[in-house]
Amino acid sequence: MDDYHAQRKQLIADDRALRIDHAAQKEISEEERRADKMLRHIRSSEAVSVWSATQPLKHLHGSQQLFPGMAFLTARETIVGTKLFDILSKMPKGGLLHAHHAAMVRVDVLLKLALSQPAIHIRVPAVLCSATIGTALPEFRGLSRAEWTTHPSITDQRYAPDTWVPIQNARSNFSHALGGPEGFDRWFTNIMTINPSEAYGTHNTTGEIWKKFQSTFIAAQGLIFFEPISTEYIREFFYSSIEDGISYVEVRMAFHQKYMTGADGERNVPHRVWLQLYDHILKEVKADMKQQGREDEFVGSKIIYSILRIITPEEIEWYLEDCIAMKQEFPHLISGFDLIGHEDTLLPLIYYAESLLRFVERQKELGIEIPFMFHAGETLGDGTVADMNLYDAILLGTKRIGHGFSLIKHPKLMQICRERDICVEVCPISNEILRLTGSMPMHPLPAVMNQGVHVALCSDDPAVFGNMGLTFDFYQVFVASEVNNLTTLHELVWDSIRYSALSHEEKECAFEKLERRWNIFVRYILDTYGGAA
């Protein structure tokens, strides 16, 4: 039997040697070893004290039982009460490499921003009442002074459908029957987020939930593309990321609309002004952090120029040229190019391949570099167009892959990702809410990591999913694996900087800051939970 045990030990070691965190496992300090032991102890005791099937269900949905890594929307309130969540919330996270600009600020904050702007008006296609509230989608717009109205309400029988009402009036005069002003806030939240009964009940397939998902963006766009809101929105995103321990963000911003609406209600603010504003806020936040003596906590942000995958190859030409022009004017901000939107139903990469290849040539001529950071394989399909996007993403030279949910079906592509060091931006909670997986234990992430493909954990659309920051995604991943330990977390955090679009010097500086904060984090675990292990 000794021989068997020796062989067994060796086989496990050989298997784990392929993992992304293998090399780092040996390098940890004594303090980290102790903190890791505590962390794993807390994970296993909370698996019983919090997540075992014998615990009473607080947030019942369908026939769900409690288990670690269970459906996020039902588990969220339980997660925030755990020790492990407390610890992970203190962890420095490095970079957030996959987040959509249109869904990165908490909905209650967005609502507050909207209510602070008298120019913001709302309209609905029907008088809002109990019969229409579930289906009527509102539209928001910042109007010019001449267009402002004094209409009182969208719930009054006298409301003429599709006429503009100041958002403050709409809220304060929201009918009693629908809950008054708080009812308005609840309605707004329902419009902008996905709730558990939708994800796990009424819209429980990828196709159905994407319909609801899209509607949140349609409703939000009139607010976030109104310049006075847009700037505060971005500032809020930086600060809320910092509060969660994120020190760098690479935002996918949709440049599909050529203009946003200015403070004067005119739709005339071009892309270069968006970037000027972004740059300005970025500088202010950095200066503020420096003044607070918190420079280590924020190294900056860049933008991945993104376009919805609905346009024609003729139309994309304008955007590719625009992207190049923006890169030339803001070389430190534009860090990549991507096509976004539902891969299962919209246009595949191959459709744009010719234009994209010319785009690469143009960059060479101009001596600039805008790496592709393509969404690909965000699908349950096998051999479908969305799955096939993976081949094109790789052939076109993508630097990272957004989602790559179906990547593990392709051994050759996995091999190429290892060889060319292509990092996969994995968005665990997004995948679960958009119904690619039922829970974290079903997610392909361990298969990707165990086979040595590097990963950056990302939140995708945290305003819609409720996974603000990165703590929730780290939590779900950490509780769903017995192999992941403190070193795994360390490697994921370091990879999020390693595979970012930061320059070599910027990375060195970011690692230095991260190292200092990591040591503080390890001390926090030991000091706070020292008695627990």
Ligand X SMILES: O=c1[nH]cnc2c1ncn2[C@@H]1O[C@H](CO)[C@@H](O)[C@H]1O
Q: Contact between 192 and ligand X (CB under 6 A)?
A: no
Q: Contact between 78 and ligand X (CB under 6 A)?
A: no
Choice between 192 and 510, CB closer to ligand X: 192
Q: Contact between 437 and ligand X (CB under 6 A)?
A: no
Over the window 293 to 312, marking each residue x when it contacts ligand X by CB under 6 A and - when it does not, the resulting string is ---------------x----
The footprint of ligand X on this chain (CB under 6 A) covers a number of residues equal to 14
Q: How far is the CB of 484 from ligand X (least distance, A)?
A: 23
Q: How far is the CB of 100 from ligand X (least distance, A)?
A: 4
Q: Contact between 435 and ligand X (CB under 6 A)?
A: no
Over the window 442 to 471, marking each residue x when it contacts ligand X by CB under 6 A and - when it does not, the resulting string is ------------------xx----------
Q: Contact between 206 and ligand X (CB under 6 A)?
A: no
Pairing of strands 334-340, 300-308: parallel
Structure tokens belonging to residue 199: 């994800």
DSSP state string for 375-431: EE--SS-SSSHHHHHHHHHHHTT-SEEEE-TTGGG-HHHHHHHHHTTPEEEE-HHHH
Contact between 124 and 154 (Cβ < 8 Å)? yes
Residue 123 is inside which H or E element, if any? strand 120-123
Q: Contact between 375 and ligand X (CB under 6 A)?
A: yes
Contact between 21 and 488 (Cβ < 8 Å)? yes
Q: Contact between 100 and ligand X (CB under 6 A)?
A: yes
Tell me the CB-side half-sphere exposure of residue 244, using CA atoms within 13 A.
26
Choose which of 82, 430, 439, 487 interacts with ligand X (CB under 6 A): 430
Choose which of 104, 119, 304, 340 interacts with ligand X (CB under 6 A): 340
Q: Among 16-24, 33-41, 74-82, 100-108, which window interacts with ligand X (CB under 6 A)?
A: 100-108
Instruction: Return the residues of window 259-288 that contact ligand X according to CB under 6 A.
Output: none
Choose which of 35, 79, 102, 269 interacts with ligand X (CB under 6 A): 102
Residue type, 140: F
Q: How far apart are CA 109 and CA 120, in angstroms?
A: 15
3-state secondary structure of 118: coil
Residues 6+ apart with CB under 8 A from 499: 97, 399, 400, 421, 423, 454, 456
Q: Among 95-103, 178-186, 264-272, 451-459, which window interacts with ligand X (CB under 6 A)?
A: 95-103
Q: How far apart are CA 494 and CA 95, in angstroms?
A: 8
Buried b (16+ CB within 10 A) or exposed e, 373-399: bbbbbbbbbeeebbbbbbbbbbebebb
Choice between 219 and 533, CB closer to ligand X: 219
Contact between 225 and 277 (Cβ < 8 Å)? no
Q: Contact between 212 and ligand X (CB under 6 A)?
A: no
Choose which of 166, 183, 265, 341 interacts with ligand X (CB under 6 A): 341
Q: How far apart are CA 1 and CA 3, in angstroms?
A: 5
Q: Contact between 433 and ligand X (CB under 6 A)?
A: no
User: Scanning the structure block, which residue is given the tokens 């039997």?
Assistant: 1
Question: Of all residues in this chain, which one has the CB nearest to ligand X in the complex?
Answer: 102
Q: Contact between 217 and ligand X (CB under 6 A)?
A: yes
Q: Contact between 378 and ligand X (CB under 6 A)?
A: yes
Q: How far is the CB of 304 from ligand X (least distance, A)?
A: 11
Q: Contact between 338 and ligand X (CB under 6 A)?
A: no
Choice between 250 and 460, CB closer to ligand X: 460
3-state secondary structure of 332: coil
Q: Contact between 425 and ligand X (CB under 6 A)?
A: no
Residues 6+ apart with CB under 8 A from 269: 227, 259, 260, 261, 262
Q: How far is the CB of 432 from ligand X (least distance, A)?
A: 12
Torsion of CA 202, 205, 207, 211, to 10 degrees: 30
Q: Among 68-76, 77-85, 99-107, 380-388, which window interacts with ligand X (CB under 6 A)?
A: 99-107
Choice between 202 and 214, CB closer to ligand X: 214
Q: How far apart are CA 140 and CA 492, in angstroms?
A: 39
Contact between 283 and 265 (Cβ < 8 Å)? no
Choice between 91 and 96, CB closer to ligand X: 96
Please give the residue ranges that form the binding site for ligand X (CB under 6 A): 100-102, 214, 217, 254, 308, 340-341, 375, 378, 430, 460-461
